[in-house]
C-alpha cells in the first residue's frame, strides 16, 4: 500500500463511522479514495447533478445547503455529505461549497453502497437510528418544499388598495390605473370600530369586464353592484400551501391577506403559481371550464400527469394528497353545476358530501368515490326523491368516467340509503356513537371524515360538531373505534422483516394502503375524536393531538413522519405504475425499494405498530364488548 493510502487509512480509522469497519473493508476504501482539493468558495457539488461519490472532509470546512439556498450544515474534518443522493435517486439533493481551502476524500458510489449494504453499524451511523432516522428523512423533504415553509405574507409585494363601496365604477377604474393594480378591496365604515373598516367585497379587472362592460352598464354604476361579495381571505401567517388550497377549493384568483383584521395586501394567482407544486391550479381551471361530462372525462390524462409531476418533484405527500383532493372536489362541484343545469333547480336545499380520503384531503390517483347527500328537513320522498336520485346518478356516473371508481360498498349519493334529511343524519350519527354495532362502526370510519362540497355546506359543519361533542366523553364508543383501528396491522414479522402476500397482479407484495396509511388514519381518527377535534386532515388532526398532550413525548411527531413517509412511498409507487404504462394500484414490492428506503419504511411500520399498542393501552378496546 502506498504512503498516501496509508495516511488515508490512518485518518479513516480515527473517525466514525469508519472506526467500526473491519480492517479489510477499510483497506478497500482507502485504495478506492480519490483525493481532491477545493479552494475557498468553490462549488463541490451542485443540486441535481449525478451523485457519483460520497464526500468525506479531510481538512478545511464545507457548507452544505438546502435546495432553497439556506444553510443546512457546516462540516469540518471527519464530516461527510452526499449520502442522500447516493441512496435515493442518484442525484445531488444538497449542494455543497468549500468554506475554506479544503481537502476532500471522494469515495465512489459502488464502494459506499457496498459498505452501506454490508455493514449494519455503518449504515445505522450514516442514517441515524429508528425514528430519528425517519425524522431526518422527512425534515429533508420538508426543507426542499417551500409550500410547507413559506408564509403568505412573503408573497405580498405592496399594501392593499381599498375603495369605499359608494364609489362608482369609473372611480374604481381610475384608482386601479393610478395605482397600477388589477384588484381593489371594497370597504364600508365600521360603526363599532371606526378605525377598522369592514371588508365587504373585492373588485377585479375581470369584474369590470364581465359585470360592467359586457352588460353595458353605465360608468356611474356603484362598485357595490359589480364587486364580488363574500370575500375569501387568508391570514398573513398561513402557509402558501394553504393559500393554494383556498384558491383550488373556491376557484378564486385573488386572495386578500389579513393581519389583525386589517388587509395587508392581495395575493394573486400569478404569485401562487411560482410556489405551486405543478399546475394543479391549471387542472382545476380546466375542470370549471368544461361544458359537458365528456369534457371532464377528457381531463383524466391531465390529472394523472399533474399527479406524476408532483411526485416526481418530491412534493410532500401531505401537499400531493391535498392538491389531488381539491381536484376531486372540483370534479364534483362542476358535475353538480352541470346536473342542476340539466335537471333544473333542486326542489329543496341540499348539501353534497365528500367522505373518506377526499374529505381528509389525502387523496392519491388510485381512489374510489364515497359521497352522500344531506337533504333539507322538508324533504318529501314521494315528491322530491326522483330529482335527487337523478342528481346522485348523474354525479356518481360522471365521477366514474373521470377516474373515481364506484364504491364497492355502495356508499354513494346514488344509493337511497345515503340520501337523507339532516334530522335523520343527526339521529344516525347519535345512534352510531351511543349504541355502536359492528356495522355502524364501519360506517363511522367513513362518515366521520366528511366535508361539504356543494350547497348548504354548513350542515356538514353541524354534523362534525355533533360528532365532536358526543364522541369525546363516550369511553365505550372510543373503545369500539380503537378495537376497529387495531384490525389492520403493519406488515412486519416477528423479526421485523416484511410480511408479503399475493395482492392482485403482484405475487409478493404489500398493500400499502390497507396495511399502512389506512391503519394510521384510523388510529389518528380515534385520538382526534377523544379530544373533540373537528379537523379533517390526518396531519392537522395530529397537530391538535400533539397540542392536547395525550401521547407520550415525541410520539406525535413520529406518527406525522410515519404517515408522510408511507404516503410518499405509496404515491411514488402509483406514479411509477403510470410511467410504466400500468394501471396504478396500492400493491408494493419491497424488494424494488433501495436498502435505505426499506429501512425507512420498516421504521415507519414500527412506529405504526407501537402506536397501535399505545391505542390499546389508552382506550382498552377489550371493554367495548
**Which of the given ranges, 208-212, 238-242, 271-275, 391-395, has the highest pLDDT on average?**
391-395
**Per-residue pLDDT tens digits for 252-275:** 888 899 887 788 888 887 676 655
The pLDDT of 516-537, averaged and rounded, is 94
Inter-residue contact 55 to 97 (CB < 8 Å): no
Considering the segment(s) 3-127 as one domain, its CATH architecture is Sandwich (2.60)
Residue 79 has pLDDT above 90, yes or no: no
Q: Where are the alpha helices (DSSP H) in 344-418?
A: 357-360, 381-401
CATH match of 475-624 with 1.10.3470: no
**Per-residue pLDDT tens digits for 565-608:** 999 999 999 999 999 999 999 999 888 887 778 888 888 998 99
DSSP state of 356: T
DSSP state of 119: -
**Per-residue pLDDT tens digits for 102-118:** 999 999 999 999 998 88
Q: What's the confidence (pLDDT) of residue 241?
A: 66
Helix (DSSP H) and strand (DSSP E) numbers for the chain: 24, 21
* Burial of 282 (C-beta count, 10 Å sphere; 0-12/13-18/19+): middle
Residues 6+ apart with CB under 8 A from 168: 219, 220, 221, 222, 223
> How many Å apart are CA 576 and CA 591, to the nearest integer?
15
Q: How confident is the model at residue 136 (pLDDT cuts 50, 70, 90)?
A: low
Domain ranges of the chain: 3-127, 151-274, 475-624
> How many Å apart are CA 116 and CA 12, to the nearest integer?
16
Which residue did the predictor score with more confidence, 499 or 495?
499
Find the range with the poorest average confidence among 265-269, 312-316, 325-329, 332-336: 312-316
Residue 482 has pLDDT above 70, yes or no: yes
> How many Å apart are CA 526 and CA 515, to the nearest integer?
17
Find the range with the poorest average confidence among 205-219, 269-283, 435-449, 494-508: 269-283
Q: What's the confidence (pLDDT) of residue 119?
A: 85
198: enclosing H helix or E strand: strand 198-204
The pLDDT of 513-525, averaged and rounded, is 95
> How many Å apart are CA 313 and CA 153, to the nearest integer?
25
The pLDDT of 116-143, averaged and rounded, is 63
Inter-residue contact 239 to 148 (CB < 8 Å): yes
* Burial of 473 (C-beta count, 10 Å sphere; 0-12/13-18/19+): exposed
User: Pairing mode, if any, of strands 183-188 and 43-45?
Assistant: unpaired
| Fold: same for 3-127 and 475-624 | no
Inter-residue contact 240 to 257 (CB < 8 Å): no
Residues 6+ apart with CB under 8 A from 161: 175, 176, 179, 181, 183, 184, 185
Q: Determine phi and psi for 421, rounding to 5 degrees.
A: -65, 160
Q: What is the mean pLDDT of the chain?
A: 87
Three-state DSSP class for residue 125: helix
Inter-residue contact 425 to 448 (CB < 8 Å): no
Residue 537 has pLDDT above 50, yes or no: yes
CA 161, 162, 166, 169: dihedral to nearest 10 degrees?
A: 20
Q: What's the confidence (pLDDT) of residue 202?
A: 92
Q: What's the confidence (pLDDT) of residue 268?
A: 80
**Which of the given ranges, 244-248, 447-451, 594-598, has the highest pLDDT on average?**
447-451
Whose CA is closest to 236, among 275, 267, 277, 269?
267
Q: What's the confidence (pLDDT) of residue 144?
A: 45
Which residue did the predictor score with more confidence, 195 or 248?
195
What class, spelled out in words, does domain 151-274 have in CATH? alpha beta
> How many Å apart are CA 224 and CA 168, to the nearest integer?
9
Whose CA is closest to 363, among 324, 332, 333, 399?
324
Residue 492 has pLDDT above 60, yes or no: yes
The pLDDT of 518-525, averaged and rounded, is 95
Over its C-alpha atoms, the chain yields an Rg (Å, rounded) of 28
**DSSP E strand boundaries for 237-289:** 254-259, 262-268
Inter-residue contact 234 to 246 (CB < 8 Å): yes
**pTM for the structure as a whole:** 0.66
* Burial of 27 (C-beta count, 10 Å sphere; 0-12/13-18/19+): middle
Q: How confident is the model at residue 467 (pLDDT cuts 50, 70, 90)?
A: very high
The string of DSSP codes covering 481-511 is HHHHHTSS--SB-TTS-B--EEETTEEEEEE
> How many Å apart are CA 414 and CA 201, to the nearest integer?
37
Q: How confident is the model at residue 131 (pLDDT cuts 50, 70, 90)?
A: very low
Three-state DSSP class for residue 296: helix
Angle at 260 between CA 257 and CA 261, to 5 degrees: 65
> How many Å apart are CA 129 and CA 444, to the nearest integer?
37
> How many Å apart are CA 157 and CA 457, to the nearest integer?
34
CA 613, 616, 619, 624: dihedral to nearest 10 degrees?
A: 170
Q: Determine phi and psi for 88, rounding to 5 degrees.
A: -105, -95
Amino acid at each position: 500500500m502506498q504512503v498516501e493510502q496509508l495516511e488515508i487509512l490512518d485518518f479513516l480509522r480515527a473517525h466514525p463511522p469508519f472506526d467500526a469497519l473491519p480492517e479489510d473493508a477499510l483497506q478497500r476504501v482507502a485504495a478506492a479514495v480519490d483525493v481532491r482539493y477545493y479552494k475557498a468558495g468553490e462549488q463541490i457539488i451542485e443540486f441535481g447533478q449525478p451523485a457519483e461519490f460520497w464526500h468525506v472532509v479531510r481538512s478545511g470546512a464545507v457548507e452544505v445547503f438546502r435546495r432553497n439556498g439556506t444553510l443546512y450544515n457546516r462540516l469540518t474534518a471527519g464530516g461527510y455529505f452526499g449520502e442522500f443522493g447516493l441512496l435515493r435517486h442518484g442525484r445531488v439533493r444538497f449542494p455543497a461549497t468549500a468554506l475554506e481551502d479544503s481537502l476532500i476524500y471522494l469515495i465512489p458510489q459502488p464502494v459506499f453502497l457496498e459498505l452501506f449494504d454490508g455493514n449494519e453499524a455503518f449504515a445505522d451511523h450514516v442514517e441515524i437510528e429508528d425514528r430519528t432516522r425517519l425524522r431526518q428523512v422527512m425534515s429533508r423533504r420538508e426543507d426542499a418544499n417551500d409550500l410547507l415553509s413559506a408564509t403568505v405574507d412573503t408573497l405580498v409585494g405592496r399594501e392593499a388598495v381599498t375603495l369605499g363601496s359608494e364609489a362608482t365604477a369609473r372611480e374604481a377604474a381610475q384608482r386601479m390605473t393610478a395605482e397600477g393594480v388589477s384588484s381593489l378591496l371594497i370597504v364600508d365604515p365600521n360603526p363599532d370600530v371606526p378605525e377598522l373598516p369592514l371588508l365587504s367585497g373585492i373588485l377585479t379587472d375581470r369584474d369590470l369586464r364581465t359585470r360592467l362592460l359586457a352588460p353595458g352598464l353605465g360608468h356611474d354604476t356603484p362598485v357595490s353592484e359589480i364587486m364580488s361579495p363574500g370575500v375569501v381571505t387568508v391570514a398573513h401567517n398561513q402557509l402558501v400551501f394553504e393559500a393554494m388550497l383556498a384558491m383550488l377549493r373556491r376557484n378564486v384568483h385573488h386572495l386578500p391577506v389579513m393581519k389583525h383584521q386589517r388587509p395587508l395586501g392581495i395575493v394573486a394567482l400569478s404569485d401562487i403559481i411560482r410556489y405551486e407544486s405543478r399546475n394543479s391550479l391549471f387542472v382545476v381551471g380546466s375542470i370549471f371550464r368544461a361544458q359537458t361530462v365528456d369534457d371532464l372525462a377528457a381531463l383524466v390524462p391531465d390529472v394523472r400527469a399533474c399527479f406524476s409531476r408532483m411526485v416526481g418533484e418530491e412534493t410532500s405527500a401531505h401537499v400531493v394528497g391535498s392538491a389531488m383532493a381539491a381536484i376531486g372536489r372540483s370534479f364534483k362541484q362542476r358535475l353538480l353545476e352541470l346536473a342542476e343545469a340539466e335537471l333544473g333547480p333542486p326542489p329543496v336545499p341540499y348539501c353534497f358530501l365528500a367522505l373518506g380520503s377526499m374529505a381528509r384531503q389525502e387523496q392519491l390517483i388510485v381512489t374510489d368515490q364515497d359521497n352522500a347527500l344531506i337533504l333539507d328537513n322538508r324533504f318529501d320522498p314521494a315528491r322530491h326523491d326522483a330529482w335527487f336520485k337523478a342528481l346522485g346518478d348523474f354525479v356518481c356516473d360522471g365521477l366514474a368516467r373521470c377516474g373515481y371508481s364506484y364504491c364497492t360498498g355502495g356508499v354513494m349519493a346514488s344509493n337511497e340509503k345515503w340520501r337523507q334529511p339532516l334530522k335523520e343524519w343527526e339521529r344516525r350519527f347519535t345512534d352510531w356513537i351511543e349504541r355502536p354495532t359492528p356495522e355502524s362502526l364501519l360506517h363511522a370510519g367513513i362518515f366521520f371524515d366528511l366535508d361539504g362540497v356543494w350547497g348548504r355546506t354548513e350542515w356538514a359543519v353541524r354534523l362534525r360538531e355533533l360528532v365532536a361533542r358526543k364522541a369525546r366523553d363516550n369511553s365505550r364508543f372510543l373503545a369500539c373505534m380503537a378495537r376497529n383501528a387495531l384490525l389492520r396491522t403493519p406488515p412486519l414479522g416477528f423479526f421485523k422483516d416484511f410480511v408479503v402476500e399475493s395482492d392482485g397482479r403482484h405475487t409478493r407484495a404489500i398493500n400499502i394502503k390497507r396495511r399502512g396509511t389506512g391503519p394510521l388514519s384510523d388510529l389518528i381518527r380515534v385520538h382526534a375524536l377523544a379530544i373533540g377535534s373537528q379537523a379533517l386532515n390526518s396531519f392537522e388532526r395530529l397537530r391538535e393531538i400533539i397540542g392536547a398532550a395525550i401521547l407520550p413525548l415525541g410520539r406525535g411527531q413520529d406518527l406525522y413522519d410515519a404517515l408522510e413517509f408511507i404516503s410518499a412511498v405509496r404515491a411514488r409507487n402509483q406514479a411509477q405504475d403510470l410511467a410504466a404504462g400500468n394501471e396504478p394500484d396500492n400493491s408494493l414490492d419491497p424488494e424494488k425499494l433501495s436498502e435505505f428506503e426499506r429501512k425507512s419504511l420498516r421504521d415507519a411500520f414500527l412506529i405504526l405498530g407501537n402506536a397501535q399498542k399505545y391505542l390499546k393501552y389508552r382506550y382498552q378496546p377489550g371493554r367495548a364488548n
